[in-house]
Amino acid sequence: MFGLFKKKTEKEKLQEEYAKLMREAHALSTSNRKLSDQKTYEAEEVMKKIDLLN
H helices present in 1-54, as ranges: 10-28, 33-53
User: Which pLDDT score, from 0 to 100, does residue 1 have?
Assistant: 57
Residue boundaries of the structural domains of the chain: 10-53
Instruction: Report pLDDT for 6.
Output: 84
Counted residue by residue, the chain has a size of 54
> Is there a contact between 49 and 24 (Cβ–Cβ < 8 Å)?
no
Which one, of 35, 43, 39, lies nearest residue 17 by Cα?
Answer: 43
Angle in degrees, CA 31, 24, 7, rounded to 5: 170
Q: What is the average pLDDT value for the chain, to the nearest integer?
A: 93
- The per-residue pLDDT for range 28-45, each reduced to its tens digit, is 999 999 999 999 999 999
